[in-house]
Amino acid sequence: MNHFLSIRDLKQSEAVALVRRAHEMKTSGFRSDLLAGKTLALIFEKASTRTRTSFEVAIRHLGGQTMFMTPRDSQLGRSEPLKDTARVLSRFVDGLVIRTFGQEKLEEFVQYGSIPVINALTDEYHPCQIMSDLLTMYERTPDFADLVVAWVGDGNNMAHSWINAAVYFPFQLNIAVPKGYEPDQAIFERASEMGAKIWITHDPREAVEGAHYINTDVWASMGQEEEQKKREKAFAGFQVNGDMLALADASCKVLHCLPAHRGEEIIEEVLEGPQSLVWDQAENRLHMQKAILEWVYTS
């Protein structure tokens, strides 16, 4: 039985194969009955548009059914231990797609449950999003070997998953973060020891120089709203705008996992401009979700 809690749950060959498989699924309009007779519970402690919709549609494209749960709909928001919830749900449904805060919650579901668990986002990792972003890149530049990918913003769950991806895919990853907002040192060191080409700087202009892809995210994620003003000050100069794009490769494309705060981490003209891939990127969540589900239930 497979779980997908982070990109590290894959072998390198599996990560590469997932990107190719998702591309095949997209181009063929793939449907199957792989999940026929199965029900997957989507447990979301954080709000979502793209993640929820893409997973619900993906599961149905594979013949399955979904049940959506929030803390208001279950004991998750009350006093029942997670290990009890995990054991009970394992007797009712055939898989869990969980969007929550702490990565340790997913690990507890895996420890005490007996069904596959998929990480739909935690504070530590967002693996489904990054795998979808890799698909978006693959559609335009299938050979990653000479690519420079820049991450501009917070050293958050997105940055962590990009770091994990850099272990398996041969691009150069430049990470630009303000001082005090660096990615987890252990995650960075582990990836570097495994051969990932990663460079961390506090100067976004250095990170984007010659980049083929620039990625960003909101400065204050869900649960960090009280830090908004502090972060606006810390992230001044990290906005993806025309001046920043002028430093990148002439063919540079822009990625943003959405939702976007126009005028903060990215300007309207870039988000809506010809170098933006954000809408293809959003669509690709659906196709990558199908590939991940297929891997979980067939490998």
Which residues define the annotated binding site for L-ornithine? 157, 217, 221-222
Q: Which of 21, 23, 126, 160 is catalytic?
A: 126
Q: Residue 64 carries which DSSP code?
A: -
| Cβ count within 10 A of residue 298 | 8
Strand partners, 199: 174
User: Residue 142 is which amino acid?
Assistant: P
Cα Rg, the chain, nearest whole Å = 19
What tokens does 118 get?
């998929």
Q: Which of 129, 239, 281, 289 is catalytic?
A: 129
| 8 A C-beta contact, residue 16 and residue 275 | no
Active site residue 289: no
Q: Strand order of the sheet with strand 95-99?
A: 65-69, 39-44, 95-99, 117-121
Residues annotated in a binding site for carbamoyl phosphate: 48-51, 75, 99, 126-129, 257-258, 285
Active site residue 257: yes
Residues in contact with 2: Cβ distance below 8 Å, sequence separation at least 6, in sequence order: 9, 116, 295, 296, 297, 299
Active site residue 249: no
Active site residue 217: yes
Q: Which of 217, 239, 252, 287 is catalytic?
A: 217
Active site residue 99: yes
The span from the CA of 160 to the CA of 223, in Å, is 18
Active site residue 252: no
The candidate with the shortest Cα–Cα distance to 285, out of 58, 47, 40, is 58
The span from the CA of 167 to the CA of 8, in Å, is 9
The span from the CA of 109 to the CA of 112, in Å, is 6
Residue reference for tokens 């995990």: 86
DSSP, collapsed to helix, strand or coil, labels residue 176 as strand
Q: Which of 3, 61, 99, 256 is catalytic?
A: 99
Q: Which of 172, 285, 287, 289 is catalytic?
A: 285
| 8 A C-beta contact, residue 278 and residue 137 | no
Active site residues: 99, 126, 129, 217, 257, 285
